[in-house]
């Protein structure tokens, strides 16, 4: 099979969807060497160096949206793949090739205020027809699939939940010297709670700051690792007092190679998000044998289960209590960390690749 694979989310500094697109392409190419993957990206050369992975565009195209609706059409008319996979909700309108689309979440539909106006206007025109035109719609979680079916007149049989995976690098225990080197690189010397993800309103970081002030003991830091996204300045202002007191720090973007040691040196991962499609940092922390304090929303609640602390995202007192307990009870942290690693063991990118390939074949049957 010749598969056109949308690699446009794969960037040098990638966030959750970029990690998904990259890790899935790696796993698909490795698991299915007899199939050919045509890499589609406005950024030129991306993707793994494998015999069955082919770059279709060598030069970068400056505007992703224009590339997808115009430039990509020309590429596909020449390449003529059997099937395309669009990895971030949208596809070229009126595409005359069979395709699969992945929908990670429907925050644009449920909470448009979390997105820039230009993105809202563009996605209002393109999101619905992109999804309805797909042969198969893949969702990261049952929560997203339910949102999708509530929103669109879509046959349930055309949808599938394909959970994400976690790279093997997160599943091994880092050597003490590896952890020490990463802590030295980022200037971390105190015990800390760790947040990994974009700095943006939907991540609910102001509530986390309030809970941290109320519940975390002196001498413990709050470390935030993630790139600045839309409206990040407002979030940063709410974190400002903790930063000025030396109790919180923003590391900005952290390279994937440093994340396992950063997770494994933390007291716990904190993830107070108001809405998620999956919650990849939560899975990475769990695979790293680190307990999680997370919002009790779906899909996070099902992912964490009994391997961490769950609290309503708007309940500052409950979050403060969880932070206080996690800071003082090392034995419970260790037990929950081992439980978390066991729960995460079933989530692999190889499994994601196999389930995704099954959907490709179903789309063509």
pLDDT in tens, 87-100: 999 999 989 999 99
pLDDT in tens, 243-290: 899 999 999 889 899 999 999 999 999 999 999 999 999 999 999 999
Whether residue 120 has pLDDT greater than 90: no
Whether residue 304 has pLDDT greater than 90: yes
Q: Comparing 213 with 48, which gets the higher pLDDT?
A: 213
Please give, one letter per residue, the 3-state secondary structure of the chain.
CEEEEECCCCCCCCCHHHHHHHHHHHHHHHHCCCCEEEEECCCCCCCCCCCCEEECCCCCCCCHHHHHHHHHHHHHHHHCCCEEEECCCCCCCCCCCCEEEEECCCHHHHCHHHCCHHHHHHHHHHHHHHHHCCCEEEECCHHHHHHHHHHCCCCHHHEEECCCCECHHHCCCCCHHHHHHHHHHCCCCCCEEEEECCECHHHCHHHHHHHHHHHCCCCCEEEEECCECCCHHHHHHHHHHHHHCCCEEEEECCCHHHHHHHHHCCCEEEECCCCCCCCHHHHHHHHCCCCEEEECCCCHHHHHCCCEEEECCCCHHHHHHHHHHHHHCHHHHHHHHHHHHHHHCCCEHHHHHHHHHHHHHHHHC
Q: What's the pLDDT at 54? A: 85
pLDDT in tens, 147-200: 999 999 999 999 999 999 999 999 999 999 999 999 999 999 999 999 999 988
pLDDT in tens, 15-66: 789 999 999 999 999 999 999 999 998 876 666 778 788 887 666 666 777 7
Q: What are the structural domains of the chain? A: 2-165+348-364 (3.40.50.2000), 168-344 (3.40.50.2000)
- Mean pLDDT value of segment 310-338: 97
Q: What's the pLDDT at 51? A: 78
Mean pLDDT of the chain: 92
- Mean pLDDT value of segment 117-121: 86
Whether residue 207 has pLDDT greater than 90: yes
Share of residues in the chain with pLDDT > 70 (%): 97
């Amino acid at each position: 099979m010749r598969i056109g694979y949308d690699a446009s989310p794969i960037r040098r500094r990638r966030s959750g969807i970029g990690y998904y697109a990259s890790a899935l392409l790696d796993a698909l190419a490795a698991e299915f060497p007899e199939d050919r993957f045509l890499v589609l990206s406005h950024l030129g050369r991306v993707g793994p160096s494998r015999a069955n992975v082919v770059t279709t565009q060598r030069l970068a195209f400056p505007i992703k949206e224009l590339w997808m609706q115009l430039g990509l059409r020309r590429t596909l008319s020449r390449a003529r793949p059997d099937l395309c996979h669009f990895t971030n909700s949208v596809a070229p309108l009126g595409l005359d090739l069979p395709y699969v689309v992945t929908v990670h979440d429907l925050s644009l539909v449920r909470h448009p205020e979390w997105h820039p106006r230009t993105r809202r206007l563009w996605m209002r025109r393109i999101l619905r027809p992109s999804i309805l035109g797909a042969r198969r719609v893949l969702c990261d979680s049952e929560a997203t699939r339910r949102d999708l079916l509530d929103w669109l007149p879509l046959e349930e049989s055309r949808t599938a939940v394909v959970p994400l995976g976690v790279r093997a690098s997160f599943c091994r225990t880092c050597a003490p010297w590896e952890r020490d080197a990463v802590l030295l690189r980022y200037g971390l010397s105190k015990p800390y709670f760790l947040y990994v993800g974009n700095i943006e309103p939907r991540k609910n970081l102001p509530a986390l700051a309030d809970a941290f002030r109320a519940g975390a003991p002196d001498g413990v830091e709050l470390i935030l690792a993630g790139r600045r996204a839309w409206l990040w300045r407002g979030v940063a202002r709410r974190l400002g007092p903790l930063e000025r007191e030396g109790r919180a720090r923003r590391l900005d973007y952290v390279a994937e190679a440093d994340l396992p040691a950063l997770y494994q040196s933390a007291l716990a991962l904190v993830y107070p998000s108001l809405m998620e499609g999956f919650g990849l940092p939560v899975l990475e922390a769990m695979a790293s044998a680190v307990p999680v304090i997370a919002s009790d929303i779906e899909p996070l609640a099902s992912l964490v289960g009994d391997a961490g602390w769950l609290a309503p995202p708007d309940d500052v007192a409950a979050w403060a209590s969880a932070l206080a307990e996690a800071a003082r009870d090392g034995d419970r942290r260790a037990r929950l960390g081992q439980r978390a690693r066991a729960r995460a063991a079933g989530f692999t990118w190889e499994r994601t690749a196999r389930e995704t390939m099954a959907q490709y074949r179903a789309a063509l049957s």
